[in-house]
């Protein structure tokens, strides 16, 4: 019996345009509610949301239907190992700025001899707690690795990063890119938009999946026209906050 098939990896590789949302509430009950929706994927955020390895694990355990993705807080190979062991097969790693960094991240997601992932699968949900006999031999093939490029330096190195074998996709982060361009809080600035659209087109031209997150429908449409196919369209925190604020305003006004 091999490792579970990573449907997200294979659907992205086929060129499908897949829509999802960020989960930042850091709660398995909220994640389970989100999993009842028709989104293609749900990203559990370990970078900016108040998650730890236990809360990430609890959320992965209840997500059924949409494909789960975990965003790491950084490129630490120890954290990558832990997240893979709790069952994540699709990872988004932030703040990538060079081909060397991309290669190191990729190696952290693979077992030897290709990489450096430590072998502890008997303890892990990833292997069904040693219930998947061929896990160690097949796990590498089902890992989906998406790297987040969100700085001027990262964009300058984009072609080199795209040349790293095994990287499934590149995600462009408009907000951090805007900040790095001296336009903090202005992800919709024309200069930022132009840089994002150019990067997305270059990513797809290289045969990789291209990702982006926005809550602006017009910008989302523009990104999809440029080739984005891993498309984040919302964040559970802001969806809840805005709905509650609107409800309060409706009755107060």
pLDDT at 104 over 90: yes
pLDDT of residue 40: 98
Comparison of pLDDT for 43 and 122, the residue scoring more: 43
Give 73's strand partners. Answer: none
Nearest to 109 by CA among 92, 134, 130: 92
pLDDT in tens, 36-66: 999 999 999 999 999 999 999 999 999 999 9
Name beta bridge partners: 21.
42
Q: Enumerate the β-bridge partners of residue 90.
A: 144
Which residues fall within 8 angstroms of residue 76, CB to CB, at 6 or more apart? none
Residues 243, 164: Cα–Cα separation, whole Å: 42
Residue 171 β-bridge partners: 148, 211
**In the structure, what pLDDT confidence band is assigned to residue 14 with cuts at 50, 70 and 90?**
very high
Residue 205: band (very low, low, confident or very high) from pLDDT cuts 50, 70, 90? very high
pLDDT at 161: 98
Burial 154-180 (b: 16+ CB within 10 A, else e): bbebbeebbebebbbbbbbbbbbbbbb
| Token reading at 247 | 């409800």
Neighbours of 187 (CB within 10 A): 22
Distance CA 224, CA 226 (A): 5
Which neighbouring-strand residues pair with 235?
A: 22
Predicted confidence (pLDDT) at residue 160 exceeds the cutoff of 90: yes
How far is 53 from 202, CA to CA, in rounded Å? 34
Structure tokens at 198: 């150019």
List beta partners, residue 207.
Answer: none
pLDDT > 90: percent of the chain: 96
Active site residues: 48
Q: What is the rounded distance in angstroms from the CA atom of residue 121 to the CA atom of residue 117?
A: 11
Q: Which DSSP symbol is given to 37?
A: S
- Per-position b or e across 28-64, b if 16+ CB within 10 A of its CB: bebbeebbeeebbbbbbbbbebebeeebbbbbbeebe
Across the range 215-244, mean pLDDT stands at 97
pLDDT of residue 253 exceeding 90? no
Q: List, in order of start, the domains of the chain with CATH numbers.
A: 7-252 (3.20.20.60)
The strand pairing partners of 169, in sequence order, are 146, 209
**pLDDT > 70: what percent of the chain?**
100
């Amino acid at each position: 019996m091999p490792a579970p098939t990573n449907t997200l990896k294979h659907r992205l590789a086929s060129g499908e345009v897949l829509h999802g949302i960020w989960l930042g509430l850091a709660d398995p009950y909220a994640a389970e509610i989100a999993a009842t929706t028709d989104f293609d994927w749900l990203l559990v955020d370990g970078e900016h949301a108040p998650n730890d390895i236990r809360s990430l694990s609890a959320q992965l355990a209840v997500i059924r239907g949409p494909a789960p993705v975990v965003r790491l807080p950084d490129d630490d190979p120890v954290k990558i190992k832990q997240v893979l062991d709790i069952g994540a097969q699709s990872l988004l790693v932030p703040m990538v700025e060079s081909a060397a960094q991309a290669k190191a991240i990729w190696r952290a997601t693979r077992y030897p001899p290709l990489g450096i992932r430590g072998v502890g699968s008997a303890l892990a949900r990833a292997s069904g707690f040693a219930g998947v006999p061929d896990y160690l031999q097949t796990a590498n093939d089902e890992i989906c690795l998406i790297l987040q490029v969100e700085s001027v330096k990262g964009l300058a190195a984009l072609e080199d990063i795209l040349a790293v074998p095994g990287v499934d996709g590149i995600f462009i982060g408009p907000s951090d890119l805007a900040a790095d361009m001296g336009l903090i809080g202005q992800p919709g600035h024309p200069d930022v938009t132009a840089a994002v659209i150019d990067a997305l087109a270059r990513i797809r031209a290289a045969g990789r999946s291209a990702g982006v997150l926005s809550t602006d429908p017009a910008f989302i449409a523009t990104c999809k026209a440029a080739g984005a196919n891993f498309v984040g369209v919302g964040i559970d925190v802001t969806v809840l906050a805005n709905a509650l604020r609107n409800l309060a305003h409706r009755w107060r006004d």
